[in-house]
Amino acid sequence: MLVTTRKMLDDARDGGYAIGAFNAENAEMVWAIVRAADELRAPVIIQTTSSTLKYFSPEMFAGMVKAEAQKTDVPVALHLDHGSSYELCCACIAAGYTSVMIDGSALPFEENIAVSKKVADYAKSFGVPVEAELGRVGGKEDDVVGVDDQYTDPKEAVEFVERTGVSSLAIGIGTAHGIYKVAPKLDLDRAADIRKVVSIPLVMHGASGLADEVMQEGVRKGIAKINFATELRVAFSEAVKAYLEKDPKVFDPKKYGTPAREAVKELVKQKMTVCGCNGKA
């Protein structure tokens, strides 16, 4: 069933686990994520980035996710990840997205507050929760580039949440988008400090490649949503490559799409178990 992220994230925050949020690039990945959630009885968030929505429209993704979500009774939300503008957030809400993120983290503090509040005020009339980001996540994901890691200040987080009215907050604790070449040095205690003074659910971006125990420690420190993107792309692509190597004359996309979606499904199930959201639907 298609729902917003509000209750699932509040329940995760209060229950001491995290919701896995998985970026989808096509129908196969949507299918895989929903099937994984159904098999593990886990609430789930399917995400698309601004860059992905240049490839397929918000309406197409909303249609695919709605169709698959109707086949299960586990909660499924469709979320805009790293929304690049107020206009894109509005377009996704109009298309049927049940959650959006406005990413103003590269802007000065006051400008980030202004755009985040503008989106939150608009989304409120539609009952759509809004995620924002304070502090920067390093690395690169599609069009999102973090030049330097910028840790979130707990005092600024309090002011930001109070003035914007957003529903969840992505924080900078040393994570980065993409696959890590070396293990990052994370400030998970900072997450705990922010959790003490901010009531809304906290989000960890840049989890692809993090050790399981690191993510679980983040959950213990107060993280209620963990994002996964690059690892899913790798799993999908590697499965396609393996099939084409075995059968280079294949021309039916369903042939190599089937093992690719199965690879994504198994990876999603593993990440859900790490997050602790399995069995929480």
Q: What is the DSSP letter of 147?
A: S
- Catalytic residue check, 81: yes
What pLDDT, in 10s, does the model give residues 46-87?
A: 999 999 999 999 999 999 999 999 999 999 999 999 999 999
Q: What are phi and psi of 169, to 5 degrees?
A: -135, 120
pLDDT number for residue 237: 98
b/e code 181-206 from CB counts within 10 Å (16+ = b) = eeebebbbebbbbbbeebebbbbbbb
Residue list for the binding site for Zn(2+): 82, 103, 133, 177, 205
What pLDDT, in 10s, does the model give residues 224-236?
A: 999 999 999 999 9
Is the pLDDT confidence value at 15 over 80? yes
**pLDDT tier, 176 (very low <50, low <70, confident <90, very high otherwise):** confident
- Catalytic residue, chosen from 38, 73, 81, 121, is 81
**pLDDT tier, 140 (very low <50, low <70, confident <90, very high otherwise):** very low
Phi-psi region of 224 (alpha: psi -120 to 50; beta: other; left: phi over 0): alpha
pLDDT number for residue 186: 86
Tell me the pTM. Answer: 0.93
Q: What are phi and psi of 20, to 5 degrees?
A: -80, 130
Could you tell me the domains of the chain?
6-232+260-275 (3.20.20.70)
Residue list for the binding site: 82, 103, 133, 177-178, 205-208, 227-230
Residue list for the binding site for dihydroxyacetone phosphate: 178, 206-208, 227-230
Which residue type, as a one-letter code, is found at position 32? A
The position carrying tokens 């909660």 is 75
